[in-house]
């Protein structure tokens, strides 16, 4: 027993000596600084949230606004439904800060099915749909979206942003190439980054530049994805979809169209870019859209061939490891889609009001940039300070419109961004243009 004890003590001593030698070596490598006391040498920027560059930039913006007497226009509290008008702190405003394009968020028919869904299914499906979260309303919504696009199937997810991130991030990898319009949404950029694929932007709506890029790059990669949007939310313009389809076919690439803003507002019946250009839905590989705008819900969807959708349902992390869409969100989106088809005059009225706004703005000498007069109209102000000042001045006159400031857009392209509703009246638009001209 004594021999065993001595052996154990010797072992412990040898271990201790080895640890001391390792510690001395580490101290030598750190120029004699003991790692346990090295915290004093770590800059605050590495462990303090208030030292983050983004936070510091926000403080600069706040101070700049205060110096010019401009209050923050963000996170305003709306008292009720936000459509063409909205109540903010008890006062009514003409509202241009909502994606409620077709006035279906707040429609009594849409609200009724949301309430009924809660009564039948509760407020949460409480798990991933793959595990135990499936409800009939999910499949009904997905089948209706697939039918609308003329494709095999669709899948809905709980976040529009996450839909792009998980779809792009999962389907593509290090041996692949992602080519995207330079003005695509952040969700596409994050998805591309997650994928590990090579990412190259091409000039806005320039399909000829895309063709040149593919001619140079295609054979260096396995899969290639082209990403464009149906209606660009900063500028209110759209791509020539048939040209992009031709290019993707020529180079044997995948084409993804993000219809977050175009679905519900473009096309004779509001069915999006496919209807607008009268193309077969199967000519595009991946249709993406959101439920939070024209469809009065929340979340995103992917529509396409069966192999794509089944693949995403079983293996895309943003769907597989996320709770299923709440029934009270899926049900109103399905109801809104049905109303959109039954009442195409909503989209037609939206288009007419948008054209009216654009024509009035141009006649008044307002710089509307690339806006095409469909739901989104920009008013370029030339600087962030001017955009913020105009937003505040209009708010004081009963008009709610948000500024888009640097770095969201280049400083010289700072703007006010007007989102049009089918319920805006010509009188409201005239009042808005007059107020803008008085304050610019």
Q: What is the mean pLDDT of the segment spanning 393-415?
A: 93
Binned at pLDDT 50, 70 and 90, residue 255 comes out as very high
Query: Is the model's pLDDT at 31 over the cut of 60?
Result: no
Q: Give the whole-angstrom CA distance, residue 174 versus residue 288.
A: 23
- Give the SS3 label for residue 228: strand
- ∠ CA 95-101-103 to the nearest 5 degrees? 85
* Strand 399-400 relative to strand 91-95, pairing: parallel
Q: What is the mean pLDDT of the segment spanning 95-101?
A: 97
pLDDT of amino acid 34: 57
Q: What is the mean pLDDT of the segment spanning 275-282?
A: 98
pLDDT in tens, 116-149: 999 999 999 999 999 888 899 999 999 999 999 9
Secondary structure of 101-170 in HEC code, one letter for each residue: CCCCCCCHHHHHHHHHHHHHHCCCCCCCHHHHHCCHHHHHHHHHHHHHHCCCEEEEECCHHHHHHHHHHH
Binned at pLDDT 50, 70 and 90, residue 17 comes out as confident
pLDDT in tens, 314-372: 999 999 999 999 999 999 999 999 999 999 999 999 999 999 999 999 999 999 999 99
Binned at pLDDT 50, 70 and 90, residue 62 comes out as confident
Q: What is the mean pLDDT of the segment spanning 43-71?
A: 86
Handedness of CA 6, 9, 14, 17 (dihedral sign): negative
Q: Give the whole-angstrom CA distance, residue 164 versus residue 227.
A: 10
Q: Taking a C-beta distance cutoff of 8 angstroms, is the pair 387, 402 a contact? A: no
pLDDT of amino acid 261: 98
User: What spatial distance separates the first Cα and last Cα of the chain, rounded to whole Å?
Assistant: 94
pLDDT of amino acid 2: 47
Report how far apart, in Å, the C-alpha atoms of 71 and of each of 14, 175, 275, 405, 417 are.
68, 48, 42, 14, 18
Q: Give the whole-angstrom CA distance, residue 56 versus residue 73.
A: 19
- Give the SS3 label for residue 389: helix
Nearest to 399 by CA among 359, 357, 367: 357
**What structural domains does the chain harbor?**
65-95+344-439 (3.90.1150.10), 108-342 (3.40.640.10)
Q: Taking a C-beta distance cutoff of 8 angstroms, is the pair 220, 268 a contact? A: no
Cα 277 from chain centroid? 24
pLDDT of amino acid 11: 66
What integer best gives the mean pLDDT of the chain?
93
Q: Give the whole-angstrom CA distance, residue 253 versus residue 249.
A: 7
Report which secondary-structure segment, H or E, holds 24.
helix 2-29
pTM: 0.89
Q: What is the mean pLDDT of the segment spanning 70-94?
A: 93
pLDDT in tens, 188-226: 999 999 999 999 999 999 999 999 999 999 999 999 999
């Amino acid at each position: 027993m004594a021999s065993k004890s001595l052996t154990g003590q010797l072992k412990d001593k040898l271990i201790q000596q080895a640890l001391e030698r390792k510690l001395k070596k580490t101290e030598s490598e750190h120029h004699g600084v003991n790692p346990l006391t090295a915290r004093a040498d770590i800059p605050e920027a590495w462990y303090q949230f208030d030292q983050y560059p983004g936070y510091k930039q926000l403080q600069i913006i706040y101070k700049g606004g205060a110096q010019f007497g401009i209050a923050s226009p963000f996170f305003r509290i709306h008292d009720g439904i936000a459509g063409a008008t909205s109540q903010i702190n008890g006062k009514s405003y003409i509202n241009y800060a909502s994606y409620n394009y077709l006035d279906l968020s707040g429609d009594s028919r849409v609200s009724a099915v949301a309430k009924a869904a809660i009564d039948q299914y509760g407020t949460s499906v409480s798990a991933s749909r793959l595990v135990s979260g499936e409800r009939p309303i999910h499949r009904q919504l997905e089948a209706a979206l697939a039918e609308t696009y003329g494709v095999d199937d669709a899948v809905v997810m709980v976040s529009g942003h996450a839909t792009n991130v998980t779809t792009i991030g999962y389907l593509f990898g290090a041996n692949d190439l992602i080519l995207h319009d330079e003005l695509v949404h952040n969700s596409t950029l994050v998805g591309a980054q997650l994928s590990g694929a090579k990412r190259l932007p091409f000039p806005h709506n320039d399909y000829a530049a895309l063709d040149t890029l593919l001619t140079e790059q295609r054979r260096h990669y396995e899969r290639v994805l082209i990403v464009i949007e149906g209606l660009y939310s900063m500028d209110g313009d759209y791509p020539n979809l048939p040209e992009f389809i031709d290019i993707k076919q020529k180079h044997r690439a995948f084409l993804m169209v993000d219809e977050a803003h175009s679905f519900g507002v473009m096309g004779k019946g509001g069915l999006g870019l496919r209807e607008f250009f009268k193309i077969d839905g199967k000519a595009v590989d991946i249709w993406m859209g959101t439920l939070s705008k024209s469809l009065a819900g929340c979340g995103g969807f992917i529509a396409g061939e069966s192999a794509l959708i089944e693949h995403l349902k079983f293996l895309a992390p943003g769907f597989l490891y996320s709770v299923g869409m709440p029934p009270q969100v899926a049900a109103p989106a399905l109801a809104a889609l049905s109303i959109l088809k039954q009442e195409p005059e909503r989209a037609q009225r939206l288009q007419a009001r948008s054209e009216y706004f654009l024509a009035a703005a141009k006649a008044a000498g307002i710089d509307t940039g690339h806006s095409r007069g469909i739901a989104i109209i920009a008013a370029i102000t030339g600087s962030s300070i001017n955009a913020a000042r105009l937003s505040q001045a209009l708010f004081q006159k009963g008009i709610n419109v948000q500024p888009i400031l640097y770095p969201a857009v280049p400083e010289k392209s700072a703007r006010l961004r007007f989102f049009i509703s089918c319920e805006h009246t010509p009188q409201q638009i005239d009042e808005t243009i007059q107020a803008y001209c008085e304050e610019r």
